[in-house]
Amino acid sequence: GAVVSQHPSWVICKSGTSVKIECRSLDFQATTMFWYRQFPKQSLMLMATSNEGSKATYEQGVEKDKFLINHASLTLSTLTVTSAHPEDSSFYICSAQRGGESYNSPLHFGNGTRLTVT
Amino acid sequence: AQSVTQPDIHITVSEGASLELRCNYSYGATPYLFWYVQSPGQGLQLLLKYFSGDTLVQGIKGFEAEFKRSQSSFNLRKPSVHWSDAAEYFCAVGARGGGNKLTFGTGTQLKVEL
């Protein structure tokens, strides 16, 4: 159990276009989802915390208008990279916290999305 | 704010040899500590976690980690490495009362020689 699916696994887009990445909890309800960005050979940087039915909380330095996050249901959160540029190329990973579990319960991670902006 | 340092970017061990991956953290109080493993192109899997109590924590796949407050460390160990253990390993720290917001180290790439 506790499977998190991320789609697409990889995407190539042209500069200036927008890309949507989906994060779904397949067998549980996720009240909270987290979006991370991972540069090559670097760590995961938390971008934002997404709570179902409310606005996402962004980390300092993350542009809200650039990285749109929507958590419209208990099983789906989306990250839209708007007007993508080559510097947005990265590996994006989501994680989900099962609803009802304590705040320090393990997170369940998706397999990530490799975004390449040309 | 908390931070995590993983001093070793790459480590190579022979199959069957013992393994220790280092992790040092910075946090004003007793943190929550985690070790995750990431296979290429995939998400992260939790190996083990420390919240309180016994400072020696047992995890999955034969891994263990020891919390040493005096050294601000949470090193990951395995007595005998298998080729399938080759992956990237991340240490992470969470602040008490900080929800599930984790700060990750830069990771250690483990290579296993047959």
Residue A27 reports pLDDT greater than 90: no
A46 near B CB under 8 A: yes
Residue-level pLDDT at B44: 87
Residue with tokens 């993350």: A62
CB contact under 8 A, A4 and B43: yes
A33 and A70 Cβ atoms separated by less than 8 Å: no
Name the residue among B32, B43, B107 with its Cβ closest to that of A93: B43
CB contact under 8 A, B100 and A97: yes
Residue-level pLDDT at A100: 65
Give the CA diameter of chain A. Answer: 42
B46 near A CB under 8 A: yes
B43 near A CB under 8 A: yes
Which residues in B lie closer than 8 A to residue A112 (C-beta atoms)?
A: 41-43
pLDDT band, very low/low/confident/very high, at A103 (cuts 50, 70, 90): low
Rounded distance between C-alpha atoms, residue B102 and residue A5, angstroms: 20
Taking only the tens place, the pLDDT of each residue in B61-98 is 999 999 999 999 999 999 999 999 999 999 999 876 66
CB contact under 8 A, A110 and B49: no
B57 and B50 Cβ atoms separated by less than 8 Å: yes
Residue-level pLDDT at B41: 74
Taking only the tens place, the pLDDT of each residue in B14-73 is 999 999 999 999 987 778 899 999 988 778 888 999 988 899 999 999 999 999 999 999
CB contact under 8 A, A43 and B42: no
Alpha carbon of B2: minimum distance to chain A alpha carbons (Å): 13
Which residues in B lie closer than 8 A to residue A105 (C-beta atoms)?
A: 100
Taking CA atoms, A26 is separated from A30, A75, A103, B35, B71, in Å, by 10, 7, 20, 24, 40
Residue B3 reports pLDDT greater than 70: yes
Alpha carbon of A12: minimum distance to chain B alpha carbons (Å): 16
Mutate to test the interface with B, among A37, A60, A107 (most CBs of B within 10 A): A107
Alpha carbon of A16: minimum distance to chain B alpha carbons (Å): 25
CB contact under 8 A, B100 and A6: no
Residue-level pLDDT at B16: 97
Residue with more model confidence, A48 or B30: A48
Residue-level pLDDT at A106: 67
Cis preceding linkage at A40, omega within 30: no
Which residues in B lie closer than 8 A to residue A111 (C-beta atoms)?
A: 41-43
